Amino acid sequence: MINSRETPPSSKIPSQEEVRDLILLLTRTNRAYKIFPSEHITIKQFVFDFHQRLTFFLEKQNSLDLVIGENYFEFMGEKVFEDEDVAHSLPFFFFRDGMQRLSFHRGLTESELYHFFETIKEVASRPPEEVDIVSAFWEKNFENISFYAPDEFIIEKITSGRPLPEYEVNREELFSGKIELTEEDKKAIEEWSLKPETIEDSGKDMATLAEEEIEIKEEEWKIVESIIHSYRELPQDEEFARLMLEVLYLEDRLDQLASFKNSLHQVYKELLKAGKIGAVTSFLRDLISLKKIFSSTEPYKAELIEAFLAELGENDYLALISELYLSSSEAIKKQAWVDYFQVLGQPALIYLAIIYECYQLEPPSFLDEMAMVILDKWADHKPEELMKIARESSPYLSRLIIRALARRSSPQVISFLSSFIRSGQPLLRREALEALSLLESATAHKIMLGYLYDQNEEIRIAAARILKISDETVLDHLLKLAAISRLKPKSDREIEALFEALARTGHPKVKEYFQEIFRLSWFFRPKIKKIAQLAIEVLKKTPNPQARELLQEAQKKGCGRLRKYCQASLKEVNSKEISG
């Protein structure tokens, strides 16, 4: 392989010392590349210095032509550098891949030198069976660096000692004997000789192709150029994805299919890495279409796709997905990601869990909306899966899962919801509580009682407010909790919530309970006074006959101040009733 250019030699012969210094600088720069990253200031300095010195040399000599030996560089027949340590030797690095000459020419830029060293670094970092320096230099096509590597190197590599195939030619047979033209051909020649010849069209009649047919006009050149341009613009990863679908569509070799799942993962990963969520979605959509086609014709392929889709929720992708999601613009999050998650199916849940993990604060509402669409779908199919995710993932997502599951009443769901009573996350305890309240189940309502003892007062209050007292055991439990002695440490809001829960029932036991409260003396007992006042407030707001009766009774029988409060409350209730 040759990539060379001739440069007229200079009349002035350079000193070997000058060349030695240059080569030393060349190898040192190369070593620096091994130690420092390319953008490091040391590298820049090395390349700058080498370029300066080399340019100075090339201004005088036009080119620096080095012959490459096994472990040395030679300049004009003399060794100017030697390094026998094959692990580090730059001449050996070139020699091993068959390079025999390397030249730097006048006009060499600093940028070319950077690329030159970068290429060496890149090749050195990869296994020799993958890449070689000759090939890499060839691809770089440097303007002012040329090299020579004879074909023999690659030929030997291919033949590995075997002889090259021989094509035997019998020269004698080729150049002896006679060609007897057929009558038809002879006639054609004779006819031709009778025709007048012009400069432009001689022989044209006899040609099988007409020139006009193949002439390419200028506008057609432009079309060709635009075709090439458009193929250059084709994104390789998307093309690969489409191609793999075609291969899968046609593949009929079972052994080949065994490794096909890996190829699908490769496609998927490449598209994700490129951040092409739209292309990923389209790839998945096509795969799902193929799965439908295969389910009746080639079920093993449908299974393969199914297995691939199921593996999408595996750890390999989690970090990639969340990183990609968070770096997407809001518009892409709202459109492309919603599409993607909807097409993805079950693994979307795992991804969602990871994405929700990334939110320290309340996630955007569109994410919740999208998540709910997916969760609702999966709540029917895979409730266990959802429950598992809810237990393990971000409270923001678990909250949505609780909401989705709460729409399906089943012993399993109740048991799931009940487990949150011990959750360390107040958000989830609250969500589970609300979910339980929506269920038409006595068990669920009994479970809610537990929330009345929650460490968080807000949850206790919420529990009292939505508690459904569907049987007497629940009521008895509540009455015990509302015993005066147990009310004292509670806040006014919590007491009020408990009273509301009791008052709503209209149960005779509750009447007795309030009567008991109104009988208590307030003298030097401010807390009792406050409790009674709260009871009046609650009864005033409770729209049932029992509450009215209790207030009327207390207005007549109670102590002075109690009566006054009840009177005012009743008056307020009455006026509200009148107004409407």
Interaction residues for other proteins, span 163-182 (CB under 8 A)? 164-167, 169-171, 174-182
Residue 195's contacts (CB-CB under 8 Å, 6 or more residues apart) are 205
Cβ–Cβ < 8 Å for 300, 254: yes
For other proteins, which is the closer residue by CB, 13 or 169? 169
Backbone φ and ψ for 262, nearest 5 degrees, come out as -60, -40
Least gap, CB of 109 to other proteins (angstroms): 9
Least gap, CB of 162 to other proteins (angstroms): 7
Among 24, 76, 86, 224, binds other proteins (CB under 8 A): 224
- Work out the number of other CB atoms within 10 angstroms of the CB of residue 557: 13
Among 207, 254, 331, 578, binds other proteins (CB under 8 A): 207
Q: Does 227 bind other proteins (CB under 8 A)?
A: yes
Among 17, 85, 183, 213, binds other proteins (CB under 8 A): 213
Strand partners, 79: 74
Least gap, CB of 285 to other proteins (angstroms): 11
Among 12, 13, 161, 208, binds other proteins (CB under 8 A): 208
Residue 514's contacts (CB-CB under 8 Å, 6 or more residues apart) are 502, 503, 535, 539, 550
Q: How far apart are CA 93 and CA 90, in angstroms?
A: 5
Least gap, CB of 204 to other proteins (angstroms): 6
Residue 438's contacts (CB-CB under 8 Å, 6 or more residues apart) are 406
Q: Does 200 bind other proteins (CB under 8 A)?
A: yes
Q: Does 194 bind other proteins (CB under 8 A)?
A: no
For other proteins, which is the closer residue by CB, 178 or 422? 178
Q: How far apart are CA 107 and CA 143, in angstroms?
A: 9
Cβ–Cβ < 8 Å for 519, 478: no
The site for other proteins, by CB under 8 A, has a size of 97
Least gap, CB of 44 to other proteins (angstroms): 19
> The tokens of 265 are what?
């993962």
For other proteins, which is the closer residue by CB, 225 or 384? 225
Q: Does 56 bind other proteins (CB under 8 A)?
A: no
For other proteins, which is the closer residue by CB, 8 or 526? 8
> The tokens of 186 are what?
């002879």
Give the footprint of other proteins on residues 462-501 (CB under 8 A): none
Query: Which one, of 142, 119, 68, 136, lies nearest residue 98 by Cα?
Result: 68
Give the footprint of other proteins on residues 116-155 (CB under 8 A): 129-132, 134-135, 138-139, 141, 143, 151, 154-155
For other proteins, which is the closer residue by CB, 178 or 556? 178
Please state the three-class secondary structure of 256-277 as a single string. Answer: HHHCHHHHHHHHHHHHHHCCCH
Q: What 8-state DSSP symbol labels residue 346?
A: T
For other proteins, which is the closer residue by CB, 263 or 419? 263
Q: Pick the stretch among 7-15, 368-376, 397-405, 557-565 that binds other proteins (CB under 8 A).
A: 7-15
What string marks each residue from 103 to 122 as x (binds other proteins by CB under 8 A) or -? --xxx---------------
Give the footprint of other proteins on residues 285-344 (CB under 8 A): 286, 290
Sheet harboring 78-82: ordered strands across? Answer: 2-3, 145-148, 101-105, 63-68, 72-75, 78-82
> The tokens of 44 are what?
């820049």
Least gap, CB of 258 to other proteins (angstroms): 10
Q: Does 219 bind other proteins (CB under 8 A)?
A: no
Q: How far apart are CA 123 and CA 135, in angstroms?
A: 10
For other proteins, which is the closer residue by CB, 5 or 527? 5
Q: Does 209 bind other proteins (CB under 8 A)?
A: yes
Q: Pick the stretch among 210-218, 435-443, 478-486, 539-547 that binds other proteins (CB under 8 A).
A: 210-218
Cα angle 438, 439, 444 (rounded to 5 degrees) comes to: 115
Q: Does 1 bind other proteins (CB under 8 A)?
A: yes
Q: Pick the stretch among 45-53, 76-84, 87-95, 223-231 that binds other proteins (CB under 8 A).
A: 223-231
Give the footprint of other proteins on residues 251-270 (CB under 8 A): 251-253, 256, 259-260, 263, 266
Least gap, CB of 280 to other proteins (angstroms): 16
The whole-angstrom distance between residue 424's C-alpha and the CA centroid of its chain comes to 31
Q: How far apart are CA 408 and CA 395, in angstroms?
A: 20
Q: Does 274 bind other proteins (CB under 8 A)?
A: no
Least gap, CB of 149 to other proteins (angstroms): 9
Ramachandran sector of residue 76 (left: φ over 0; alpha: ψ -120 to 50; beta: rest): left
- Work out the number of other CB atoms within 10 angstroms of the CB of residue 402: 27
Least gap, CB of 82 to other proteins (angstroms): 27
Cβ–Cβ < 8 Å for 509, 470: no
Q: Does 228 bind other proteins (CB under 8 A)?
A: yes
Q: How far apart are CA 420 and CA 442, in angstroms?
A: 18
